[in-house]
Amino acid sequence: MRKEHSQQSFTKVCFRNILILICCIALLPSLAQAETEKFISLDELKPGITGKVLSVFRGTEVESFRVELRSIVDGPHPGQKSMLLKVLDESILLGSGFSGSPVYFDGRLAGAISHMEYNLAKQLVKAVFISDMFQEASRVLPSGEPSPVTVKAEHKTEPGSMIYIPLVRGDFWIGSSGTLTWHDGNQLLAFGHENMFNGESVPMPIHRATVHAVIPKNDMSHKEASALEEIGSVTWDGKSALVGQFGKKAVMTPFLLQYRSRSGEEKQYNLEMVNHTRVAPFVISSVVQSVLTSLVPNKPGGVDVEMTITAEIKGLAEPVTITQRFNVEHLKGETAQFKPLLTALLFPLADHASLSSLTIKMTELPDAKTGRIAEALFTRARAAAGETVSLIVRLNGPFGERKDIHIPVTIPHGFDRPVFDISVQSGSTVRPSEYSPGSMEDIAKWLSSIARSDDLVVLSPGMAGASIYPEARINQTVVRAPWNLGGKVEASINVIDRQ
C-alpha cells in the first residue's frame, strides 16, 4: 500500500511539473526558442537513475560529479516536490555555494541543487525541479526594451559557473555566492532557492566569481569565493530560483563610511549597497560592525563614538541628518540601539521614496562614559491639570558621581485622571513610533525627533481622547545628559481639581 501510494504521488508530481514546464515555455519568449529535448521529462525520472552535476571546485573551471536519484520528496515549500540525490563520489562534501548547480540525467537538464542535508555521512542533497525555476522566471517576462545602462561580459559564463550577488561592494564586499543553473540568450536562472526576498523584484548586481577552495566543516562545507567582473542583474528573487538578465546594470546606492580615532587617524570606505529600503538596516549595521571590529580593539568600558548619519532621499530638497552617540562594543554586537534607529530612518521610505546616497561619519569621543538613571520624583505630592511641576531625575555616573537634573513637566489642561504617571528613560530605549507619513516633509520632521543615547527622555500622557492613536497621546520631553544612559524609572503625582 505504501509503495503504491508513493508511485501515484510520483505520477501526479510528474504530470503537474510537465504542465508547469509547458506553460512556462509558452510564456517566456527565450524559452519558446529553446529545444525542449534539452530538458528531461519528469516521468522519465525513476529512483536509481544516475546522472551528473556541474559546479566549480576551484578557480572558474566547471567540473562534473556523479549523483543517483534516490527519491522524490516533499518540499521545500508547500505543494512542491524535490529530488533527493546521493553524491556517488565520497570525497566530495557539498555545502553552501553549490546551490544552483545544474543536475542532468541522460544529458538533459532536470533541475538544480537547492538544499543540503546536514547528515553529510549519507552524502544526500535536494534538488529543485527546473519547472519550478521556470515558473519563477515567468513572473518577470522580458519587456523587449533594452536596459538603459548595460554591462559587458568579457568572459563566458556557462551552467555550473560560480556567481556572486553583492549586497555591498567597493572597498570591501558583503554578499552571497551560488551557481548558475541555466541561460538562454540574456536570461538566466540560478541558486535553486531565494537569495534574500522570497518573491520580489529587486535589482541586485550579478558578478562572475572565482572559487578559492571548498572549506570542509563538520556540519556543512562552503565555497570560499570572490567576485570578478559584473555580468548582469537580478530581476526576480523567487523562492525556487534567482532570475537574472545578462548585460543589465543594477543601480546601487552610494555609501560612504568614515571613522576618526581619538588620535586623529582617519579611515574611509567608499562603498555601494543594494538599493532596497527594507534590507538596508541589516546591510548598514553589518558594514558598521565589520569596520569597528577591524579598527577598534576591545577595551574595558569600551569606546564611545558620535555617529552622524546623512541620508539624501529622493523627493526631499535637503538631506536628512541624524546625530547619535553609541558605545562601540554595543555596535560590534547585535545592538538594541542601532538597528531601531536605522529602521526608523529607512522603513517609512519604503512606500514613498528611496535613498539617493548615505554617509556615516563616526568620531571617537575622549571618554567612554555610561551613566544610569537611578530614580525620578516630583517635588510636590499633588498638582492640578494645567500646572507645571518640577521633576528631579537622579543619574549615577560611570565613576560613582551623581547628578540631579531638574525638568519642568506640565500636566495637560483637561487631564481628568486622578494620577499623572510619567516614564523616564534613555533615548536609546525609546522606540520611534511607527506610522504612515502623509508626505516626505512628514518623514523629515519625524526623523528629526529621534532621540540620542545620551538623551534623557520623559514620556508623559497627553490629553485623554485627543487622538485615537496612542502615540499621539504621549508628550515627549528631551534633555541632553553628560553621558550615555541606561535604565528606566517611573514617577507619578496626584491630580487635584482646581477650585
d(CA 230, CA 249): 8
Q: What is the pTM of this model?
A: 0.75
pLDDT at position 438 = 57
pLDDT at position 185 = 87
pLDDT at position 147 = 44
Out of 3.30.1380, 3.10.20, 3.40.50, 3.40.462, the CATH code matching 253-364 is: 3.10.20
Instruction: Name the residue ranges covered by the structural domains of the chain.
Output: 2-135, 140-250, 253-364, 370-436+451-496
pLDDT at position 189 = 95
pLDDT at position 344 = 64
pLDDT at position 457 = 87
Out of 1.10.3480.10, 2.120.10.30, 2.40.10.10, 1.10.3720.10, the CATH code matching 2-135 is: 2.40.10.10
- Tens-level pLDDT at each residue, the chain (499 residues): 223 333 333 333 343 443 444 344 444 444 433 444 589 877 889 999 999 999 999 999 999 999 999 998 887 777 778 899 999 988 887 888 999 999 999 999 999 999 776 554 567 889 999 999 998 888 764 444 444 456 665 556 899 999 999 999 999 999 999 999 999 989 999 999 988 877 788 889 999 999 999 988 776 788 999 999 999 999 999 889 999 999 999 999 999 999 999 889 999 999 999 988 778 888 888 899 889 888 888 766 678 888 898 988 887 788 888 888 877 877 776 555 577 667 766 666 655 667 899 999 999 988 667 788 999 999 999 999 999 999 999 999 877 888 999 999 999 888 888 999 998 988 777 765 544 555 666 666 666 667 777 888 888 886 443 333 344 345 778 888 887 788 889 999 999 976 5
**Digit-coded pLDDT (tens) for 349-377:** 655 667 899 999 999 988 667 788 999 99
pLDDT at position 118 = 54
Distance between start and end Cα atoms, the chain: 87
